[in-house]
Amino acid sequence: MNDLIQYTLHLADNALILGHRNSEWTGHGPILEQDIALSNISLDLIGQARMLYQYAASLSGNGATEDSLAYLRTEREFLNCLLVEQPNGHWGNTIMRQFIFSAFQYGYYRELKSKKDVTLSAIAEKSLKEVTYHLQWSSEWVIRLGDGTEESHLRMQDALELVWPLVPELFRPEPYETRLAEAGVAVEPDKIETPVREKLTAVLTEASLSIPEDSGVWSGRSGKSGIHSEHLGYILSEMQYLQRAYPGCTW
Amino acid sequence: MSRNASWPLWEVFIRSRQGLDHKHVGSLHAADAKMAIENARDVYTRRMEGVSIWVVESKYIHASNPDDAASLFDPANDKVYRHPTFYELPDELSHM
What residues of chain B have any CB closer than 8 angstroms to a CB in chain A?
A: 1, 3-4, 7, 28-31, 34-35, 38-39, 42-43, 46
In total, the C-beta contacts within 8 angstroms joining chain A to chain B are: 37
Assess whether pLDDT exceeds 50 at residue A118.
Answer: yes
Query: 3-state DSSP: chain A helix, strand, coil percent, rounded to 5?
Result: 70, 0, 30
Task: Specify the pLDDT at position B1.
Answer: 46
Closest partner residue to A40 (CB to CB) among B4, B34, B42 is B42
**The Cα angle at residue A234 between residues A82 and A221, in degrees rounded to 5:** 30
Q: Are A93 and A162 in contact (CB under 8 A)?
A: yes
Assess whether pLDDT exceeds 70 at residue A21.
Answer: yes
Q: Are B53 and B41 in contact (CB under 8 A)?
A: yes
DSSP string for residues in B22-69:
-EEEEEEE-SSHHHHHHHHHHHH-TTS--SEEEEEEGGG-----GGGH
Are A31 and B35 an interchain contact pair (Cβ–Cβ within 8 Å)? no
Which ipTM did the prediction report? 0.76
CATH 3.40.50.1820 applies to domain A3-211+222-245: no
Total Cβ atoms within 10 A of residue A87: 14
A-chain CB neighbours of B43 within 8 Å are: 32-33, 36
Q: Are A100 and A244 in contact (CB under 8 A)?
A: no
DSSP structure class, residue B14: E
CA distance A182 to A176: 10
pLDDT-derived band at B93, boundaries 50, 70, 90: confident
Q: Are A209 and A156 in contact (CB under 8 A)?
A: yes
User: Given this structure, which CATH class describes domain B4-63?
Assistant: alpha beta
Assess whether pLDDT exceeds 90 at residue A151.
Answer: yes
Closest partner residue to B46 (CB to CB) among A40, A137, A140 is A40
Pseudo-torsion of CA B40, B45, B51, B55, nearest 10°?
Answer: -20
**Mean of per-residue pLDDT scores for chain A:** 95
**Kind plus residue range of the DSSP H or E element containing A188:** none
Give the mean model confidence (pLDDT) for residues A12-30: 96
Q: Of the ranges A70-84, A222-236, B77-91, which one carries the lowest mean pLDDT score? A: B77-91
**Domain ranges across chain A:** 3-211+222-245
CA distance A204 to A184: 33
**Nearest 5°: phi and psi at B77?**
-55, -40
Residue of A nearest to B5 (CA): A31
Task: Specify the pLDDT at position B86.
Answer: 75
B-chain CB neighbours of A34 within 8 Å are: 39
Task: Specify the pLDDT at position B81.
Answer: 79
CA distance A146 to A157: 7
Give the mean model confidence (pLDDT) for residues A33-44: 95
Total Cβ atoms within 10 A of residue A156: 27
CA distance B30 to B40: 9
Assess whether pLDDT exceeds 60 at residue A24.
Answer: yes
Q: Are A109 and A11 in contact (CB under 8 A)?
A: no
Percent of chain A at pLDDT exceeding 70: 97
Task: Specify the pLDDT at position A23.
Answer: 97
Side chain identity, residue A199: K
pLDDT, tens digit, for every residue of B15-65? Answer: 998 888 999 999 999 999 999 999 999 999 988 889 999 999 999 999 999
Task: Specify the pLDDT at position A100.
Answer: 98
Q: HSE (CB half, 13 Å, CA atoms) of A150?
A: 0
Q: Of the ranges A17-21, A184-188, A208-212, A215-219, which one carries the lowest mean pLDDT score? A: A215-219
Q: Is A195 exposed, middle or buried (0-12, 13-18, 19+ CB in 10 A)?
A: middle
Q: Of the ranges A13-22, A114-123, B65-74, which one carries the lowest mean pLDDT score? A: B65-74
Give the mean model confidence (pLDDT) for residues A25-47: 94
| Higher-confidence position of A81 and B82 | A81
Of residues A104, A102, A91, A81, the one with CA closest to residue A229 = A81
Task: Specify the pLDDT at position B85.
Answer: 76
Closest partner residue to A37 (CB to CB) among B7, B29, B39 is B39
Assess whether pLDDT exceeds 70 at residue B4.
Answer: no
Side chain identity, residue A106: Y
CA distance B59 to B27: 12
**Domain ranges across chain B:** 4-63
Q: Are A77 and A249 in contact (CB under 8 A)?
A: no
Task: Specify the pLDDT at position B83.
Answer: 79
Residue of B nearest to A41 (CA): B42
Are A33 and B31 an interchain contact pair (Cβ–Cβ within 8 Å)? no
Assess whether pLDDT exceeds 90 at residue B96.
Answer: no
